[in-house]
C-alpha cells in the first residue's frame, strides 16, 4: 500500500479531529473546529512544531505531531518529540502507523536529532508492542501532572 506523509494544512483539521475521536485519544472532550483552527495557527508560528497526516487510497487516515526541540545538553543536538499519534481504527494494521513513524524518523534525521521520543499511556499495550516492533526501547519513566482548566 502506498502511504504518503505530508505536513497538515488547515483544510485537514476536520479530518484530524475525526481521527482523534475514532482512535479514542481525545481526553478532554470534543474540540470545536474553531478551537482547532486557533491552535493550528499558533503552532504554525513555532519554528519546528508541525502536524503531519498520512494519506492512503486518496484519503487522510492517520496523523501525528512532531516537535524538533533545540537542546543545550547533548552537544546542542536537537531531539524529536512525537505526540498525538492516531490512525483510524479501520486502517490500523495496514502499515499506516509504521509509515508515519518512518516519516517522523526521516524528519528527525534531516534535523540531525540525536534521539526521537514518544510517550504512551500504560494501558495501550498494543501500541507498546507496535513501537517496540519499530525499534523503540522503553527508557526511563514518563511523569505527568494533570492541570485542569
Residue 55 within a domain: yes
pLDDT of residue 119: 87
Contact present, 3 and 54 (Cβ < 8 Å): yes
Q: What is the CATH number of the domain that holds 102?
A: 3.40.630.30
Q: What pLDDT, in 10s, does the model give residues 80-129? A: 999 999 999 999 999 999 999 999 999 999 999 999 999 888 888 888 99
Residue 148 within a domain: no
Residue 115 within a domain: yes
Mean pLDDT throughout 23-34? 75
Residue 139 within a domain: no
Give the total number of structural domains in the chain.
1
pLDDT of residue 149: 66
Residue 146 within a domain: no
Residue 128 within a domain: yes
CB atoms under 10 Å from CB of 45, counted, come to 7
Residue 72 within a domain: yes
Is the pLDDT reported for residue 22 higher than 70?
Answer: yes
pTM: 0.90
Look up the domain containing 25 and give its range: 3-133
**Exposed e or buried b for every residue in 51-85, given b needs 16+ CB within 10 A?**
bbbbbbeeebbbbbbbebeeeeeeeeebbbbbebb
| Residue 119 cell numbers, joined | 510517550
Is the pLDDT reported for residue 31 higher than 70?
Answer: no
pLDDT of residue 18: 94
Residue 143 within a domain: no
Residue 108 CB-density burial (10 A; 0-12 exposed, 13-18 middle, 19+ buried):
buried
pLDDT of residue 49: 95
Of 61, 99, 68, which is closest to residue 83 (Cα–Cα)? Answer: 68
Residue 36 CB-density burial (10 A; 0-12 exposed, 13-18 middle, 19+ buried):
middle
Amino acid at each position: 500500500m502506498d502511504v504518503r506523509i505530508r505536513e497538515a494544512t488547515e483544510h485537514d483539521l476536520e479530518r484530524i479531529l475525526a481521527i482523534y475521536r475514532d482512535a479514542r485519544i481525545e481526553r478532554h472532550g470534543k474540540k470545536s473546529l474553531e478551537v482547532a483552527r486557533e491552535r493550528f495557527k499558533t503552532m504554525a508560528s513555532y519554528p519546528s512544531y508541525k502536524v503531519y497526516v498520512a494519506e492512503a487510497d486518496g484519503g487522510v487516515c492517520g496523523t501525528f505531531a512532531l516537535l524538533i526541540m533545540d537542546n543545550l545538553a547533548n552537544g546542542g543536538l536537537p531531539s524529536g518529540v512525537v505526540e498525538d499519534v492516531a490512525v483510524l481504527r479501520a486502517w490500523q494494521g495496514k502499515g499506516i502507523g509504521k509509515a508515519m513513524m518512518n516519516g517522523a524518523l526521516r524528519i528527525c534525521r534531516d534535523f540531525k536529532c540525536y534521539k526521537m521520543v514518544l510517550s504512551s499511556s500504560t494501558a495501550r499495550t498494543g501500541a507498546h508492542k507496535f513501537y517496540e516492533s519499530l525499534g523503540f526501547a522503553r527508557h526511563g519513566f514518563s511523569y505527568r501532572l494533570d492541570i485542569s482548566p
